[in-house]
Structure 1
Amino acid sequence: MEPLRLQKWLARCGCGSRRACEQLIAQGRVAVNGAPATLGMKVDPARDAITVDGKPVNPPQQAYVYLMLHKPRGYVTTRKDPHAPRTVMELLEGVPVPVFPIGRLDADSEGLLLFTNDGAFANRLMHPRYKLPKTYRVWVQGVPSDRALQRLREGVPLEDGMTAPAQVRRIRSEDGQTLLEIVLYEGRKRQIRRMCQAVGHPVRRLVRIAIGELRLPRDLKPGQWRMLTDEELQLLQSCPSGK
């Protein structure tokens, strides 16, 4: 086997997406032949001993799996966190092989969350250049004006820069709240919550209902998971290489 970048090999072995594997290396949790690994280094898996948290890393012997979870509120999207009361991994009882989440939803958010042990697949879905749309149903406080909605569509200045243009439409208003549908083509931390706060309408509830053309099934209840069908997997694998 030709030498290849360490983070690519870790992702291939099911340690997470390539970005997550880069974080493992940066955190000092990866070693090559007993020495701390560095970002960008190349390895020969046939010759080098690679460990994460002291445990050997080996290529997966099982087939790749792809599944969806209807994430309920109150669960942190991480494989393990000693400070988190509950993680999404606790909801995956019965999954036959170790998997990791593709992207994340914050603890207060709900909806469609994908998991796999295929690092290359996860990296494709998460890479910014593919601009894979993600659709959310968002209940906000108050009734946003047309100007507020236009600001969300055009971009909102946040502390980490201007947001990219988004699709936003009002569905209905009732009891002092408004239901919006928002489609994003980027994925910053708590982005929708910060955008809506910036235009004066804090989020009361947020549910991701679609990733690309893949929609959250109506019959998948909060806390439930199931494997993706071949047709659903094809929807994700055929996502365009740009918006």
Structure 2
Amino acid sequence: MSTATPATDGSEDPAALPGRRFEPDLRSMTRINLRPIASPMPLGFFTIAIASVMTGCLQLGIFGEQARTAVAFTVLPAFVLQLLVSFLAFGARDVIAATLMAVFAGSWLPYSLIMISGAADGLKVLGVFNLALLCFGALMSAVTRPKRALWLVIAVSLPRWAATGLAGITGAEWLTRTSGALGLVVALVAMYTAFALMLEDMHSEEVLPIGRGGPAHAAVEGDLGVQLRNLERQAGVRRTL
């Protein structure tokens, strides 16, 4: 990962003049400082895949009811791993990926704790919680479309959150089975996305298609001038968030 910081030469900034909009060419005024950060997104997607397989197998009845606690302990590390991914994504200034991974991390923790503790009405509470995640996912899908890898994982997660939420509230067995099957679909999509991103990082080019568009495509395929566009308005450069 890298960050770009505009250097100052002591001259008056034309952009500061009232009533005047000025877009300077920042390339000659920029210093590149490399950070020792690799992309954390493959780890995040692989974590989603593995945790979704475990919970999906439980919902499909592949694991018996007595395996609830064991599955919960297996899923619990996903909270730590995806929280780590979120911290690294914030450091890489990718607020969309960081927010998504943080919320995914927050979804695994209550699931694990409720399954381990066997809290009263735990499934119903998790049902409402998943419907809240459904609302979050619907909003996130509107802003992640250029980042097709994230968008696709959210798109397949939406029906699963809906099925899990309704299953928890109504107790309908067929909804639980549907949620389990959708969980395996989420796992397949997340696994493919993680593998594609790892190949891309190794070869420094897209190997498997992940459908980037707009700014996300320009971030990978564009030159330095594209990366510096609107730099003065980026978080960490502008005065306030």
Bin of the TM-score, shorter chain as denominator length? under 0.3
Q: TM-score, normalised by structure 1?
A: 0.25
Instruction: Name whichever structure is richer in helix by fraction.
Output: 2
Larger-gyration structure (1/2): 2
For normalisation by structure 2, the TM-score amounts to 0.26
- More strand per residue: 1
